[in-house]
Amino acid sequence: MILFRYIITELILLVIISGAVSAQSVFSIPDIEGWLDDENYLELRDDKNGNEHVYKVNARTGKSKVYRQTSYLTEVNKALPQGFMVSWRSESTKNYNSNIIKKDGDLYYYSRIKKLFRQITDNTVEEETPVFSPDEKYIAFTRERDLYILDLEKGLETRLTDDATDLIYNGYASWVYYEEILGRKSRYRAFWWSPDSRMIAFLRFDDSPVPEFPIYSSDGVHGRLEVMHYPKAGDPNPGVKLGIIDITTGNTTWIDSNDKEDIYIAWPFWSVDSKRLYYQVLNRDQDDMKIFSANPETGEKKLVYNDKQKAWIEWYEDIYVMKDGSGFILRSDKSGWMNLYYFDPDGKLISRITDVEWRVHGVEMVDEEAGVVYFTGTGGVSTDRYLFRVKLDGTDMKQLTKKPGYHSFDISEKGSYFIDTYSNITTPMRMELCSSSPEKIRDLGNSEVQGNDTEQAGKVELFTIPTKDGFDLPAYWILPAGFDDSKKYGVIFTIYGGPNAGSVRNTYKDPEGDYMTKNGIIRIAVDHRGTGHFGKKGQEYMHRNLGKWEIDDYIAAVKWLKEKPFIDTTKIGITGGSYGGYLTCMALTYGADYFTHGFAKYSVTDWRLYDNVYTERYMDTPEQNPEGYNFGSVMTHAEKCRGKLYIIHGMMDDNVHMQNTIQLIDKLTDLDRDFEMMLYPDERHGWGPPKSQHSSRESREFWLQHFIGVSINE
């Protein structure tokens, strides 16, 4: 997991990365709701009177007719009583049939089919993590960290666990599992329905071994102390065990019940017939992954898959379970690159579906009847993403999209058609309808940038920067408007830089840029060797060495820049948040001979201070790797700091604790080094308005003052 994760849809991600959202962008991208079947898709449009309708559109002919008078969410919101509004659909409902609505801590149920709306819980205690059963007859949720179900027909609520405390959680994730294993999109949910809606697998956590960490709020007269269980690097983990509850009997079968064992258990998945529960077990060093198959009635388990690597292994978050019961498809980097493997239910390898030396991003769709897998991958260009099709036995692989760029897809029911949304460095977002032959049938829309004055627009280029040891680092820059290579320009690196978290992609960047490029500053982004472009080979440099190779590669980029006659070598800046904040601080200390200015946001400054799951994945424990932790600490290199460093942090950050910033400024003041700092009371890991307006203004002021010599307040 990355330190700072936003959950957004693939399409929104594409828009944001592309930089296509600007004052000059005019969208004519249709609002596609998805595929109705293999031949027709659904599109949301307004008629000539401004009334909203959902149209059924034939893919081949383009002919359309009204399918529904409004979108599902519009229909729901019209049906709800005053004061109720929904902007999302429960992930488990089928065909947009029903919703769980949460208001004032209680749950409400809406059925589109039955035209039914009713309140289903009424408690002073909040219900959390609600989710439908696959048959939509039940809702499971947690209340005060215990697991409950509610029978929607009978209105009967059943408590499935009864031993939750301030330290024991049933079906509700311990903080470090939520942040680093299950992910923020889980919203702390740690339970999984069986396909037949008869059983629920859940994780039980015991946080009693985990040290407490205090977070201070300055509210009121006396302030407030918030205490969380947060395992720092080397600390004990929460105890965890896996159980399965039969909702008809209330009986729990424990599968892995030794919660004293120092392991991680997560990401279970059910067989289609609900007769097996598969789950993943990772050792504390995170280099030995096992998948077990368990009998939900007896608890008997057996090993079906084992992978050991010299560095670390990521969780298998996107396993595809074959609907015909023949097994599952797993995406693993055990070959050095992410590839797809097809296993039978007992873990026997049926086929290696892909055998490529580039990144396979993930499975988009499996046509089991035809024995075909549609998947996305980079092909030979690490900054791009394309659609591929291959047979389950690994033969007849074909690249279906070839226009350079970063593509996302919506594939019809049997793969006859797909909608391709893409952009590249010089092309704003486009949407095309294609057949799987492949053949472009027609353009669906684009995001044309209008009103750009060529005299005001800069130049955007995608390129690579070589290192001495053979890595060609992907990069792009936006040169300022009216760029003149006889003049001198300051340059600012915008980075994140975590392991396998590259940000340089072949997506559209508005040539007008932002306030930096509009004020004569070059903005550049560079991905180092560990960001995923070079497979596991590149990432393994970071093993036990966080901070070193990232900055060494950025230094190589600075050296490359300094060879350009138009670079002002007295103005080499860098900025980022979270892991990017860490690298900004490292650049202004360890890399102080090359970087002159930095704006660091909510930064890790010493890996001993960050959580153990993320940190130990790459660094092992402080006891195992004292040299790596010492080198990777900003404080180790603080004496070298001589540039202009601005630090900001939220005072209630529960992810990267403000302790990181406090220890750094303590060191810097002891060394009599200059820096600027701004703290944001009651804010956590990143924040929104109104304080985000202030922090954004502080950033602009910092760069314009030091690089241009002007103030935005002048």
CA distance 142 to 487: 62
Close Cβ partners of 623 (under 8 Å, ≥ 6 residues apart): 234
Nearest to 147 by CA among 122, 124, 168: 168
**What are the structural domains of the chain?**
124-317 (2.140.10.30), 459-708 (3.40.50.1820)
Close Cβ partners of 58 (under 8 Å, ≥ 6 residues apart): 39, 40, 64
Across the strands, what pairs with 340?
A: 331
pLDDT in tens, 70-113: 887 888 888 888 888 877 655 445 556 788 999 999 999 998 88
Extract the tokens encoding 57: 């559109």
One DSSP character per residue, 146-207 reads: EEEEEETTTTEEEE------SSEEESB--HHHHHHTS-GGGTTB-EEE-TTSSEEEEEEEE-
The SS3 call for residue 659 is helix
CA distance 150 to 132: 10
Q: What angle do CA 364, 527, 684 make, to 5 degrees?
A: 80
User: Residue 571, Cα to own-chain centre: how many angstroms?
Assistant: 32
Q: What angle do CA 78, 83, 87 make, to 5 degrees?
A: 60
Give the E-state strand segments of 520-565 in sequence order.
521-526
pLDDT value of residue 706: 95
CA distance 554 to 579: 14
Nearest to 302 by CA among 334, 320, 324, 279: 279
pLDDT value of residue 711: 72
Task: Report CA Rg, the chain.
Answer: 26
pLDDT in tens, 405-421: 999 999 999 999 999 99
Nearest to 328 by CA among 313, 314, 318, 339: 318
CA distance 76 to 74: 5
The SS3 call for residue 708 is helix
Q: What angle do CA 435, 441, 447 make, to 5 degrees?
A: 110
Distances (CA, A) of 140 to 60, 150, 153, 644: 42, 6, 14, 53
pLDDT in tens, 363-417: 999 999 999 999 999 999 999 999 999 999 999 999 999 999 999 999 999 999 9
Give me the torsion for CA of 30, 32, 36, 41, rounded to 10°.
Answer: 20
pLDDT value of residue 49: 82
Q: How many residues are given for the chain?
A: 714
pLDDT value of residue 375: 98
User: Which residues of the chain fall below pLDDT 50?
Assistant: 1-25, 91-92, 714
Nearest to 353 by CA among 341, 365, 368: 341
CA distance 110 to 112: 6
Extract the tokens encoding 117: 């709306």
Q: Is the alpha carbon torsion for 581, 583, 584, 590 positive or negative? A: positive
pLDDT value of residue 597: 98
Distances (CA, A) of 276 to 250, 299, 321: 19, 10, 12
Distances (CA, A) of 174 to 214, 243, 516: 16, 16, 41
One DSSP character per residue, 242-289 reads: EEEEETTT--EEEEE--TTSSEEEEEEEE-TTSS-EEEEEEETTS-EE
β-strands 567-577, 372-377: how paired?
Answer: unpaired
pLDDT value of residue 456: 65
Peptide bond into 438 cis (omega under 30): yes
Question: 205 and 229 in contact (C-beta within 8 Å)?
Answer: no
Q: What angle do CA 666, 669, 675 make, to 5 degrees?
A: 105
Distances (CA, A) of 700 to 369, 675, 705: 56, 17, 8
Extract the tokens encoding 618: 């790459």
The SS3 call for residue 370 is coil
β-strands 644-650, 676-680: how paired?
Answer: parallel
